[in-house]
Amino acid sequence: MTKNTGMYASVLGGAALVLGVAYGWTARDYRGEELETLSETLRQLEARNATLAAQIAESDGLEGRIEELEASLAAALQAVEDAQLAAAPPETAAEAAAAESQDTTEVVQTVALEFGDPARGEEVFGQCRSCHQIGQGAEDRIGPHLNGIFGRRAGMHDGFRYSDDMAMMGADGLTWELETLNAYLENPKALVSRTRMNFAGLKDPQDRADILAYLRQFSASPQNIPEAAPTAQAREVELSPEVLQLVGDTDYGEYLASECKTCHQQDGSDQGIPSITQWPTEDFVVAMHAYKRKIRPHPVMQMMANRLSDEEIAALAAYFAQLE
Amino acid sequence: MKLNRRVFVGTGMAAATSLSAPMVHAASHGKPKVVVVGGGAGGATAARYIAKDSAGEIDVTLIEPSRSYYTCFFSNLYIGGFRELDSIAHSYGTLASDYGINVVHDWATGVDRDARTVALAGGGSVPYDRLILSPGIDFVEGSVPGWDVSAQNAMPHAYKGGSQTELLKAQIMAMPEGGTYVMVAPPNPYRCPPGPYERVSMVAHVLKANNPSAKIIIADPKANFSKQGLFEEGWQKHYPGMITRIGPDFGGENVSVDPEAMTVDIDGEVINADVVNVIPAQKAGLICGAAGLTEGNWAPVSGHTMQSRMDENIHILGDATNQGDMPKSGFSANSQAKVAAMAVRGALTGSRVFPAKFSNTCWSLIDTDNGVKVGATYEATDEKIAKVDGFVSQTGEDAALRKATYEESIGWYQGITSDMFG
Ligand SMILES: Cc1cc2nc3c(=O)[nH]c(=O)nc-3n(C[C@H](O)[C@H](O)[C@H](O)COP(=O)(O)OP(=O)(O)OC[C@H]3O[C@@H](n4cnc5c(N)ncnc54)[C@H](O)[C@@H]3O)c2cc1C
């Protein structure tokens, strides 16, 4: 029951996001007064949604109520948009209407087709289903449910217990977007070193593209995916075998590591800053390259990794792997 | 700097190969001797790394008058009520017991560079093959007219750790309702560029809770300061109306004080204050000048090895140096110490020497769970330590990120203090 509530809260969150996005997107051209009226409307709607959510959480007929709520949210959204259109000066209205007519769903579909095939993605998703649910009634299982995953902050979906590393990546700013999901699916440990997700990764870019197209159908605000432009290029940590096989010079690693130890404690304490002692060499190498390529968030680590050569990363990995 | 050229053959990995050691230590006295003056961020780190990595091949003596080192880093958090004073005190016990460092609690009063000995206030002298100086800062006399060190009890600087920090906090807690705290901020360069502004944040934090009608005035000779946008955003958000900063355009550089009357004169306007925190202009710790190693206020060094530009047997670290682009911070001093330790071991025992790399990150706390940071990486050129890359927290970051940043600073504090003291 608590899990259910969590999930509905997240649907609500997604819907509120739609409101916010649509509002921000259309309202940009309006003058202050109108903007104020509209924000007021929005606030009232949000308050109403919150009340409805509370009622729903208590109610038994959850399924029915959530549909009601969704309908009411859709109506509310429409009302805000109508109000905005009505308030717009004539030429802006025309522009807005023009923009509206290329409707988001259409745009997204085109992009989705170019980016991946959702039908095939559904098949590929088969291997994820033992842990992750998606779609109506999806709940958290071994892994969190994936409704509304796009735009969700990593490690912050209420009610699910994440690994410390996932929670930390979320706090550092990792948000699930096309490119971060793509990198995570390719090699989960590249992005989140000690993720609980026990999955080797999808090496085939087409598999990932398809699965992402499938997942995206269950996210409330597809227009909120900046990377959804047809030209979007996913970044990846694809390391050549030579880089992965470099044998590090532990003496050099020891000197380089003295810089790491200002923050990362050798004894493995990890308050506020994770321990890196005794990391498997390959995880270390992949993680550092992910920082270097700025796929992992965190400005200090991006900066530190940025000036390390492949040999230096190998030297550090070799040193930390053997450190007691 | 012949030694430099000998040690650093080329750059990059080429230099990362073993070198035949110059073996400069005097034949007469067995193991090579390293003396470190100052057991702070630079000195404690250097002593520990040399002792640890030479595994008994080098004799290390650390000269430091205090038995407890109170870090300046996190001293502002003590003022803000986020840390106990005890939690920022560190003893030299482990350096002596686990690393075999000979810790001498005394002042160094002079250096005989020809005889290679350091004179102690308690009498006697200590010989060295290599000397490392990391004495931190002292204050430039007359930089704030009306103030000198004899006035530091009436108008504390709290810019060296320990009793001064405690005194300043006691004065702030004793301020009358609606009272006035004035900070006289220092001109560049000085230790910990964001330090005065983090302090103002922490003073505001305690006053907001205990004395919300109190006022904070900063008289500042600098047009801009470190993380300015972040601090100003935070002050606006957490302490609206409490903090006034008077920059040089409004006479903030034209300040004198009267410690007896407890007044501050800012460009002709006299303010009656309850607490006056004078942070004067700074210079290298006195021992550097006494040893003839300064040029102007600071001691010039080579970034490759942290060797004094005036004496290749002496390495100087941390706040006292003029090295180039690095800010004067504990993180910087710790980073420089590791480069110096490697160079000293290389020179004395022939251990491998790699190209110098430096880094720095300074965290500051603005209010509960609202941490920000600024950092950069550096490398040595022949002229100076030059900045390579950097970052700074952004205004408008969300609460989760700011909290994570604060928590990271706690981890860093743990990390750097165990890196210094073992
Ligand atoms: C309020 C404040 C906040 C700060 N916050 C941060 C921060 O968050 N992060 C950060 O990285 N840095 C911070 N700093 C800066 C940091 O404290 C200094 O940059 C750092 O301590 C410099 O290290 P050092 O080795 O040069 O000098 P110190 O750490 O000051 O050590 C010098 C030591 O030398 C000893 N000494 C001096 N003269 C002699 C002598 N003649 N004989 C024997 N011993 C001697 C002194 O007793 C002292 O213990 C802060 C500073 C202040 C004031």
Residue B9 pLDDT greater than 60, yes or no: no
User: Looking at the domain assignment, is residue A196 inside a domain?
Assistant: yes
Instruction: Tell me what the mean pLDDT of segment A171-196 comes to.
Output: 90
pLDDT at B2 over 50: no
Q: What is the pLDDT of residue A129?
A: 82
Q: With contact defined as beta carbons under 8 Å apart, do A210 and A116 qualify? A: yes
pLDDT band at A223 (very low <50, low <70, confident <90, very high): very low
Do B44 and B166 contact (CB within 8 A), yes or no? no
pLDDT of residue A137: 78
Which of B73, B126, B335 for a ligand 1 pocket mutation test, highest count of atoms within 8 Å of Cβ?
A: B73
Contact: B415, A168; criterion CB under 8 Å: no
> Which residue in B160, B99, B110 sits closest to B133, CA to CA?
B110
pLDDT in tens, B221-244: 999 999 999 999 999 999 999 999
Domain with residue A252: its CATH number is 1.10.760.10
From B56's Cα to the closest Cα of chain A, the distance in A is 18
pLDDT for the residue numbered A79: 64
How many domains does chain A divide into? 2
pLDDT at residue A56 in the model: 60
Q: How far is the CA of B39 from the centre of ligand 1 (A)?
A: 9
Per the structure block, which two tokens stand in for B336?
Answer: 């420089």
Question: What is the Cα–Cα distance from B8 to B5, expressed in whole angstroms?
Answer: 5
**Which amino acid is residue A156, in one-letter code?**
M
What was the pLDDT predicted at A38?
66
Residue A33: pLDDT band with limits 50, 70, 90: low
Top mean-pLDDT range of A273-282, A285-294, B204-213: B204-213
Q: Rounded to the nearest 10 degrees, what angle do helices A32-58 and A2-27 cross at?
A: 170
Closest residue by Cα to atom 5, ligand 1, is B73
pLDDT number for residue A284? 87
**Percent of chain B having pLDDT more than 90?**
92
Would you state the pLDDT for residue A107?
Answer: 37
Q: Would you say how long chain A is, in residues? A: 324
Chain B residues touching A251 at Cβ < 8 A: 352
Share the mean pLDDT of chain B.
93
In a domain, A195, yes or no: yes
Domains of chain B: 5-65+106-138+282-355 (3.50.50.60), 145-278 (3.50.50.60)
Question: What are the pLDDT digits (tens) for B103-158?
Answer: 999 999 999 999 999 999 999 999 999 999 999 999 999 999 999 999 999 999 99
Ranges A243-247, B210-214, B335-339: which has the least confidence: A243-247
What angle do helix axes B195-210 and B163-173 make, rounded to 10 degrees? 40
**Rounded distance between C-alpha atoms, residue A111 and residue A316, angstroms:** 41
Asked if pLDDT for residue A255 goes beyond 80, the answer is yes
Poorest-pLDDT segment among A67-81, B155-169, B274-288: A67-81
Say whether the ipTM exceeds 0.90. Answer: no
What share of chain B has pLDDT > 70, as a percent? Answer: 93
For residues A193 and A259, state if they share a domain: no
The whole-angstrom distance between A265's CA and the closest CA on chain B is 5
Whether A313 maps to a domain, the answer reads: yes
Task: Based on the fold, state whether residues A200 and A286 are members of the same structural domain.
Answer: no
Residue A175 forms part of a structural domain: yes
Q: Rounded to an integer, what distance in angstroms lies between the CA atom of residue A317 and that of residue A267?
A: 17
Nearest to A252 among B16, B400, B404 (CB): B16
Q: Is B63 in the pocket of ligand 1 (CB under 6 A)?
A: yes
Task: Indicate whether B183 pLDDT > 50.
Answer: yes
User: Are A185 and A251 in the same domain?
Assistant: no
Whether A16 is in a domain gets the answer: no
B217 φ, ψ to 5°? Answer: -120, 130
End-to-end alpha-carbon separation of chain B, Å? 33
β-bridge partners, B275? B181
> CB–CB of B388 and A173 under 8 A?
no
Our answer on whether the CB atom of B318 is closer than 6 Å to any ligand 1 atom is: yes
Q: How high is the mean pLDDT of chain A?
A: 73
Q: Can you tell me the distance from the alpha carbon of A322 to that of A247, in angstroms, rounded to the nearest whole number?
A: 13
Q: Average pLDDT for residues A165-191, to the nearest whole number?
A: 90
pLDDT mean over B172-185: 98
The answer as to whether A286 is a domain residue is yes
What's the confidence (pLDDT) of residue A140?
A: 83
- The pLDDT value given to residue A48: 74
Confidence class for position A263, pLDDT limits 50, 70, 90:
very high
B354-401 pLDDT, tens digit per residue, is: 999 999 999 999 999 999 999 999 999 999 999 999 999 999 999 999
Query: Does A195 lie in the same domain as A130?
Result: yes
More confident residue, A297 or B387: B387
Looking at residue A83, its pLDDT comes to 58
What does the buried/exposed string (b/e) look like for A74-96 if buried means 16 or more CB atoms within 10 Å of the residue's CB?
A: eebbeebbebbeebbeeebbeeb
* Residue corresponding to tokens 């008058």: B65
Backbone angles phi, psi at A94, to 5 degrees: -60, -45
Q: How confident is the model at residue B17 (pLDDT cuts 50, 70, 90)?
A: very low
The residue of chain A with its CA nearest to that of B407 is A272
Name residues whose C-beta falls within 8 Å of residue A75's C-beta, 6 or more positions apart in sequence.
none
Within a domain: A140: yes
Contact: B375, A303; criterion CB under 8 Å: yes
Do residues A245 and A204 both lie within one domain?
no
Smallest CA separation from ligand 1 atom 15, residue: B329
- Distance to chain B for A238, nearest Cα, Å: 24
Q: Are residues A259 and A209 in the same domain?
A: no
The answer to whether the beta carbons of residues B158 and B76 sit under 8 Å apart is no
Q: What is the pLDDT, as a whole number, of residue A116?
A: 81
Q: Is residue A269 domain-shared with residue A208, that is, in the same domain? A: no
Query: Are A128 and A197 within 8 A, CB to CB?
Result: no
Question: 């600024």: which residue's tokens?
Answer: B374
pLDDT band at B294; cut points 50, 70, 90: very high
Report B:32-91 residues touching A (Cβ under 8 A).
49, 53
**Range name among A5-9, A291-295, A316-320, B254-258 with the lowest pLDDT average:** A5-9
State residue A161's pLDDT score.
Answer: 86
Q: What is the mean pLDDT of residues B197-203?
A: 98
Residues of A in contact with B370 (CB under 8 A): none
Count the neighbouring beta carbons within 10 Å of the beta carbon of residue B412: 25
B75 lines ligand 1 (CB under 6 A): yes
Indicate if the pLDDT at residue A124 is higher than 60. yes
Give the side-chain half-sphere CA count within 13 A for A176: 25
Supply the pLDDT for residue B374. 96
Question: Residue A299: which domain range?
Answer: 241-322
Helical segments of B13-111, H only: 41-54, 75-79, 93-97
How many other CB atoms are found less than 10 A from the CB of residue A183? 22
Q: What is the pLDDT of residue B45?
A: 98
The answer to the question of residue A24 being in a domain is: no
pLDDT over 60 (residue B167) = yes
| Chain centroid, CA B417 distance in Å | 13
A123 and A207 inside one domain: yes
pLDDT (average), residues B288-317? 98
What are phi and psi for residue B34, nearest 5 degrees? Answer: -115, 130
Distance (Å, whole) CA B102 – CA A193: 42
User: Does the structure show a pLDDT above 90 at B191?
Assistant: yes
Same domain for A207 and A256?
no
pLDDT recorded at residue A236: 35
User: Do A191 and A276 reside in the same domain of the chain?
Assistant: no
**A212 and A245 in a common domain:** no
CB A136 within 8 Å of CB A148: no
**pLDDT for A49-72, tens place per residue?**
777 767 666 655 556 666 766 776
Instruction: Note whether A122 and A212 are same-domain residues.
Output: yes
Q: pTM of the predicted model, to two decimals?
A: 0.74
